Structure 1
Amino acid sequence: MAYWLMKSEPDELSIADLAAAPEQAFVWTGVRNYQARNFMRDAMRIGDGVLFWHSSCAEPGVYGLAEVAKTGLTDPTQFDPESPYYDPKSTPEAPRWQSVAIRYAKRTAFLSPARLREIPGLEAMTVLKRGNRLSITPVTDDEWAILMEILA
Protein backbone atom coordinates (compact mmCIF):
# COMPACT_ATOMS: atom_id res chain seq x y z
CA MET A 1 0.00 0.00 0.00
CA ALA A 2 1.19 3.48 -0.85
CA TYR A 3 0.03 6.91 0.30
CA TRP A 4 -0.57 10.11 -1.63
CA LEU A 5 -1.48 13.74 -1.18
CA MET A 6 -3.88 14.95 -3.87
CA LYS A 7 -4.73 18.63 -4.28
CA SER A 8 -8.09 19.83 -5.54
CA GLU A 9 -9.60 23.25 -5.82
CA PRO A 10 -12.71 23.03 -3.63
CA ASP A 11 -14.91 24.75 -6.21
CA GLU A 12 -14.09 21.86 -8.61
CA LEU A 13 -14.10 18.93 -6.14
CA SER A 14 -14.10 19.26 -2.37
CA ILE A 15 -14.08 16.87 0.56
CA ALA A 16 -17.73 17.88 1.06
CA ASP A 17 -18.50 16.65 -2.47
CA LEU A 18 -16.89 13.30 -1.67
CA ALA A 19 -18.69 13.07 1.67
CA ALA A 20 -22.05 13.76 -0.01
CA ALA A 21 -21.60 10.64 -2.17
CA PRO A 22 -19.44 8.27 -0.09
CA GLU A 23 -19.98 5.25 -2.36
CA GLN A 24 -19.17 7.14 -5.56
CA ALA A 25 -15.73 6.98 -7.17
CA PHE A 26 -14.72 10.42 -8.47
CA VAL A 27 -12.44 10.49 -11.52
CA TRP A 28 -9.44 12.74 -10.93
CA THR A 29 -9.47 14.85 -14.09
CA GLY A 30 -7.49 17.78 -15.38
CA VAL A 31 -3.96 16.80 -14.38
CA ARG A 32 -1.60 18.17 -17.03
CA ASN A 33 1.75 17.53 -15.41
CA TYR A 34 3.66 14.46 -16.59
CA GLN A 35 5.11 13.59 -13.17
CA ALA A 36 1.67 13.67 -11.51
CA ARG A 37 0.22 11.73 -14.45
CA ASN A 38 2.95 9.12 -14.06
CA PHE A 39 2.13 8.70 -10.37
CA MET A 40 -1.48 7.91 -11.34
CA ARG A 41 -0.54 5.75 -14.31
CA ASP A 42 2.39 3.81 -12.87
CA ALA A 43 2.34 3.89 -9.08
CA MET A 44 -1.16 4.23 -7.67
CA ARG A 45 -3.04 1.08 -6.73
CA ILE A 46 -6.58 0.40 -5.57
CA GLY A 47 -6.75 0.87 -1.82
CA ASP A 48 -3.90 3.38 -1.58
CA GLY A 49 -4.53 6.08 1.01
CA VAL A 50 -5.05 9.72 0.02
CA LEU A 51 -4.70 12.93 1.98
CA PHE A 52 -7.31 15.23 0.41
CA TRP A 53 -5.91 18.76 0.14
CA HIS A 54 -7.86 21.88 -0.79
CA SER A 55 -5.74 24.25 -2.87
CA SER A 56 -6.19 27.68 -4.44
CA CYS A 57 -8.51 28.71 -1.64
CA ALA A 58 -8.48 30.94 1.44
CA GLU A 59 -7.23 28.13 3.70
CA PRO A 60 -5.29 25.46 1.83
CA GLY A 61 -4.45 22.23 3.58
CA VAL A 62 -5.62 18.73 4.46
CA TYR A 63 -9.38 18.42 4.90
CA GLY A 64 -9.94 14.69 4.80
CA LEU A 65 -9.01 11.22 3.66
CA ALA A 66 -9.88 9.24 0.57
CA GLU A 67 -8.69 6.07 -1.10
CA VAL A 68 -7.83 5.10 -4.64
CA ALA A 69 -10.90 3.26 -5.95
CA LYS A 70 -10.03 2.70 -9.64
CA THR A 71 -6.86 2.85 -11.70
CA GLY A 72 -5.96 2.76 -15.37
CA LEU A 73 -8.53 5.36 -16.42
CA THR A 74 -8.25 7.74 -19.34
CA ASP A 75 -8.98 11.37 -18.46
CA PRO A 76 -12.02 12.24 -20.61
CA THR A 77 -11.44 16.00 -20.37
CA GLN A 78 -8.47 15.76 -22.77
CA PHE A 79 -10.87 15.06 -25.66
CA ASP A 80 -13.45 17.75 -24.88
CA PRO A 81 -12.84 21.01 -26.81
CA GLU A 82 -15.07 22.83 -24.31
CA SER A 83 -12.95 21.73 -21.33
CA PRO A 84 -10.14 23.91 -19.95
CA TYR A 85 -8.14 20.64 -19.88
CA TYR A 86 -8.61 19.90 -23.59
CA ASP A 87 -5.45 18.61 -25.29
CA PRO A 88 -5.67 18.76 -29.09
CA LYS A 89 -2.60 16.51 -29.40
CA SER A 90 -4.34 13.68 -27.55
CA THR A 91 -6.59 11.21 -29.34
CA PRO A 92 -8.78 8.35 -28.09
CA GLU A 93 -6.42 5.98 -29.92
CA ALA A 94 -3.35 7.51 -28.24
CA PRO A 95 -4.41 9.31 -25.05
CA ARG A 96 -1.75 11.32 -23.25
CA TRP A 97 -3.49 11.79 -19.90
CA GLN A 98 -4.31 8.98 -17.51
CA SER A 99 -6.27 9.16 -14.30
CA VAL A 100 -7.54 7.33 -11.24
CA ALA A 101 -10.78 7.55 -9.31
CA ILE A 102 -10.91 8.17 -5.58
CA ARG A 103 -13.57 7.47 -2.97
CA TYR A 104 -14.33 9.26 0.28
CA ALA A 105 -12.92 7.80 3.51
CA LYS A 106 -13.53 10.51 6.14
CA ARG A 107 -13.35 14.17 7.03
CA THR A 108 -10.55 15.11 9.35
CA ALA A 109 -9.46 18.05 11.39
CA PHE A 110 -8.08 20.76 9.12
CA LEU A 111 -4.28 20.75 8.88
CA SER A 112 -2.76 23.87 7.34
CA PRO A 113 0.72 23.92 5.82
CA ALA A 114 1.87 25.96 8.84
CA ARG A 115 0.53 23.32 11.24
CA LEU A 116 2.13 20.50 9.23
CA ARG A 117 5.51 22.27 9.46
CA GLU A 118 5.22 22.21 13.27
CA ILE A 119 4.77 18.43 13.48
CA PRO A 120 8.01 16.52 14.13
CA GLY A 121 8.71 14.00 11.38
CA LEU A 122 6.88 15.92 8.65
CA GLU A 123 9.62 18.44 7.84
CA ALA A 124 10.53 16.65 4.59
CA MET A 125 6.99 16.21 3.26
CA THR A 126 7.00 16.95 -0.45
CA VAL A 127 4.02 19.31 -0.23
CA LEU A 128 5.96 21.49 2.22
CA LYS A 129 9.06 21.87 0.04
CA ARG A 130 9.69 25.31 -1.35
CA GLY A 131 8.51 25.65 -4.94
CA ASN A 132 6.54 22.40 -5.01
CA ARG A 133 3.40 22.84 -7.07
CA LEU A 134 2.58 19.25 -8.00
CA SER A 135 -1.07 18.35 -7.54
CA ILE A 136 -0.18 14.78 -6.56
CA THR A 137 2.75 13.88 -4.32
CA PRO A 138 3.80 10.73 -2.51
CA VAL A 139 3.51 10.52 1.27
CA THR A 140 5.97 8.22 3.04
CA ASP A 141 4.86 5.42 5.36
CA ASP A 142 6.32 7.32 8.33
CA GLU A 143 4.57 10.57 7.37
CA TRP A 144 1.28 8.71 6.96
CA ALA A 145 1.65 7.03 10.36
CA ILE A 146 2.35 10.37 12.06
CA LEU A 147 -0.67 11.96 10.38
CA MET A 148 -2.98 9.06 11.24
CA GLU A 149 -2.04 9.48 14.92
CA ILE A 150 -2.95 13.16 14.74
CA LEU A 151 -6.11 12.70 12.64
CA ALA A 152 -7.47 9.67 14.51
Structure 2
Amino acid sequence: MARSYWLMKSEPAECSIDDALAAPHATVPWTGVRNYQARNFMRDAMRVGDGVLFHHSGCAEPGIAGVAEVASGPRVDPTQFDPASPYFDPKSRPDAPRWVLVDVRALRKTRLLTMAEMRAHPELAEMVVLRRGNRLSITPLTEAEWRLVTEVLRPAG
Protein backbone atom coordinates (compact mmCIF):
# COMPACT_ATOMS: atom_id res chain seq x y z
CA MET A 1 0.00 0.00 0.00
CA ALA A 2 1.16 3.51 -0.76
CA ARG A 3 2.10 5.74 2.13
CA SER A 4 -0.49 8.37 3.04
CA TYR A 5 0.08 11.76 4.66
CA TRP A 6 -1.86 13.59 7.35
CA LEU A 7 -1.97 16.87 9.22
CA MET A 8 -2.96 16.31 12.84
CA LYS A 9 -3.85 19.23 15.10
CA SER A 10 -3.14 19.32 18.81
CA GLU A 11 -3.44 22.14 21.28
CA PRO A 12 0.04 22.58 22.79
CA ALA A 13 -1.46 22.83 26.29
CA GLU A 14 -2.80 19.27 25.77
CA CYS A 15 0.07 17.70 23.83
CA SER A 16 2.80 19.70 22.13
CA ILE A 17 5.52 18.40 19.85
CA ASP A 18 7.86 18.75 22.85
CA ASP A 19 5.51 16.60 24.95
CA ALA A 20 5.41 13.96 22.22
CA LEU A 21 9.19 13.92 21.85
CA ALA A 22 9.56 13.55 25.65
CA ALA A 23 7.08 10.65 25.85
CA PRO A 24 8.38 7.07 26.03
CA HIS A 25 9.55 6.08 22.54
CA ALA A 26 8.45 9.63 21.49
CA THR A 27 4.98 8.13 21.04
CA VAL A 28 1.62 9.45 22.25
CA PRO A 29 -1.94 8.13 21.91
CA TRP A 30 -4.00 10.58 19.83
CA THR A 31 -6.96 10.70 22.20
CA GLY A 32 -10.00 12.93 22.28
CA VAL A 33 -10.98 13.02 18.61
CA ARG A 34 -14.74 13.59 18.66
CA ASN A 35 -15.52 14.26 15.03
CA TYR A 36 -16.81 11.37 12.93
CA GLN A 37 -14.88 12.30 9.79
CA ALA A 38 -11.58 12.59 11.69
CA ARG A 39 -12.38 9.33 13.50
CA ASN A 40 -13.01 7.63 10.18
CA PHE A 41 -9.62 8.77 8.89
CA MET A 42 -7.97 7.09 11.89
CA ARG A 43 -10.15 3.99 11.74
CA ASP A 44 -10.28 3.39 8.00
CA ALA A 45 -7.42 5.15 6.24
CA MET A 46 -4.38 5.61 8.50
CA ARG A 47 -1.67 2.98 8.39
CA VAL A 48 1.48 2.46 10.44
CA GLY A 49 4.27 4.48 8.84
CA ASP A 50 2.05 7.17 7.31
CA GLY A 51 3.57 10.65 7.50
CA VAL A 52 2.16 13.21 9.93
CA LEU A 53 2.62 16.96 10.14
CA PHE A 54 2.20 17.81 13.84
CA HIS A 55 0.19 21.05 13.92
CA HIS A 56 -0.25 23.24 16.98
CA SER A 57 -3.72 24.81 17.13
CA GLY A 58 -5.76 26.77 19.65
CA CYS A 59 -2.72 28.87 20.52
CA ALA A 60 -1.38 32.38 19.84
CA GLU A 61 0.47 31.27 16.69
CA PRO A 62 -0.97 28.12 15.08
CA GLY A 63 1.15 26.18 12.64
CA ILE A 64 3.15 23.08 11.90
CA ALA A 65 5.62 22.40 14.71
CA GLY A 66 7.00 18.98 13.86
CA VAL A 67 7.11 15.84 11.77
CA ALA A 68 5.76 12.52 13.02
CA GLU A 69 4.41 9.20 11.82
CA VAL A 70 1.48 6.94 12.56
CA ALA A 71 2.84 4.33 14.98
CA SER A 72 -0.13 2.00 15.50
CA GLY A 73 -3.35 0.85 14.00
CA PRO A 74 -6.63 2.12 15.44
CA ARG A 75 -7.84 1.01 18.85
CA VAL A 76 -10.56 2.07 21.28
CA ASP A 77 -10.02 5.50 22.87
CA PRO A 78 -10.47 4.88 26.62
CA THR A 79 -11.18 8.56 27.37
CA GLN A 80 -14.73 8.13 26.01
CA PHE A 81 -15.59 5.94 29.04
CA ASP A 82 -13.95 8.10 31.73
CA PRO A 83 -16.44 10.49 33.39
CA ALA A 84 -13.50 12.59 34.65
CA SER A 85 -12.18 13.11 31.11
CA PRO A 86 -13.12 16.16 29.04
CA TYR A 87 -13.59 13.63 26.22
CA PHE A 88 -16.15 11.49 28.08
CA ASP A 89 -19.02 10.42 25.84
CA PRO A 90 -21.98 9.17 27.90
CA LYS A 91 -23.57 7.65 24.78
CA SER A 92 -20.56 5.48 24.03
CA ARG A 93 -20.60 1.98 25.51
CA PRO A 94 -17.71 -0.48 25.99
CA ASP A 95 -19.60 -3.08 23.93
CA ALA A 96 -20.13 -0.49 21.14
CA PRO A 97 -17.41 2.18 21.35
CA ARG A 98 -17.76 5.22 19.13
CA TRP A 99 -14.23 6.61 19.25
CA VAL A 100 -10.79 5.31 18.33
CA LEU A 101 -7.24 6.54 18.55
CA VAL A 102 -3.93 5.84 16.86
CA ASP A 103 -0.48 6.26 18.35
CA VAL A 104 1.68 8.97 16.85
CA ARG A 105 5.48 8.88 17.04
CA ALA A 106 7.18 12.29 16.93
CA LEU A 107 10.25 12.24 14.69
CA ARG A 108 11.50 15.81 15.00
CA LYS A 109 10.57 19.29 16.07
CA THR A 110 10.74 21.92 13.35
CA ARG A 111 10.60 25.65 13.28
CA LEU A 112 7.00 26.82 13.37
CA LEU A 113 5.51 26.99 9.89
CA THR A 114 2.68 29.47 10.37
CA MET A 115 -0.65 29.50 8.60
CA ALA A 116 0.35 32.79 6.91
CA GLU A 117 3.55 31.25 5.60
CA MET A 118 1.64 28.23 4.27
CA ARG A 119 -0.83 30.55 2.55
CA ALA A 120 2.09 32.35 0.88
CA HIS A 121 2.86 29.18 -1.10
CA PRO A 122 0.45 28.98 -4.07
CA GLU A 123 1.16 25.23 -4.31
CA LEU A 124 -0.58 24.80 -0.94
CA ALA A 125 -3.74 26.71 -1.88
CA GLU A 126 -5.85 23.53 -1.83
CA MET A 127 -4.46 22.25 1.47
CA VAL A 128 -7.47 21.30 3.60
CA VAL A 129 -6.21 23.05 6.76
CA LEU A 130 -6.09 26.33 4.81
CA ARG A 131 -9.68 26.13 3.58
CA ARG A 132 -12.08 28.65 5.02
CA GLY A 133 -14.17 27.18 7.83
CA ASN A 134 -12.14 23.97 8.18
CA ARG A 135 -12.18 22.81 11.80
CA LEU A 136 -11.16 19.17 11.40
CA SER A 137 -8.38 18.02 13.72
CA ILE A 138 -7.13 15.48 11.18
CA THR A 139 -6.91 16.18 7.47
CA PRO A 140 -5.34 14.31 4.56
CA LEU A 141 -2.41 15.75 2.66
CA THR A 142 -1.41 15.10 -0.91
CA GLU A 143 2.07 13.76 -1.52
CA ALA A 144 2.93 17.08 -3.20
CA GLU A 145 1.79 19.05 -0.12
CA TRP A 146 3.81 16.72 2.15
CA ARG A 147 6.94 17.10 0.01
CA LEU A 148 6.69 20.89 -0.19
CA VAL A 149 6.08 21.38 3.53
CA THR A 150 8.81 18.97 4.61
CA GLU A 151 11.22 20.65 2.18
CA VAL A 152 10.38 24.09 3.56
CA LEU A 153 10.92 22.71 7.08
CA ARG A 154 14.17 20.89 6.26
CA PRO A 155 17.00 22.22 8.42
CA ALA A 156 19.57 24.33 6.60
CA GLY A 157 22.93 22.76 5.98
Same fold judged by TM-score > 0.5? yes
Give the 5 Å matches for 1:64-103: 64-103=66-105
| TM-score normalised by structure 1 residue count | 0.97
- Tell me how far 1:74 sits from its aligned partner: 0.6
- Structure 2 residues without counterparts, runs of 5 or longer: none
**Aligned position for 1:5:** 7
Give the C-alpha shift of residue 150 in structure 1.
1.0
Quote the offset at 1:77 in angstroms: 0.4
Q: Which runs of 4+ in 1 moved over 2 A?
A: none
Aligned length: 152
1:62-117 residue CA offsets vs partner (Å, 9 max, x unmatched): 00011000112111100001111111111111100011010111111211100000
Within 1, Cα distance between the matches of 2:61 and 2:88? 29
The amino acid across from 1:119 in the alignment is: H
Query: Offset at 1:22?
Result: 6.1
Task: Answer yes or no: is 1:51 the counterpart of 2:53.
Answer: yes
Contact 2:21–2:27 at 8 Å: present in 1 too? no
Q: In 2, Cα distance between the equivalents of 1:85 and 1:5? A: 21
User: Residues 6 and 136 of structure 1 are in contact (CA less than 8 Å); yes or no, is this contact kept in structure 2?
Assistant: yes
- Residue 120 of structure 1 and its aligned partner are, at CA, apart by 2.9
Q: Percent identity?
A: 62
1:10-49 equivalence runs, <5 A: 10-21=12-23, 23-49=25-51
Paired residues of 2:8 and 2:139 also in contact (CA < 8 A) = yes
Match of 2:116 in 1: 114
Structure 1 runs not aligned, ≥5 long: none
Deviations 1:37-69 (A, max 9, x none): 000000000000100011110110000011000
TM-score, structure 2 normalization: 0.94
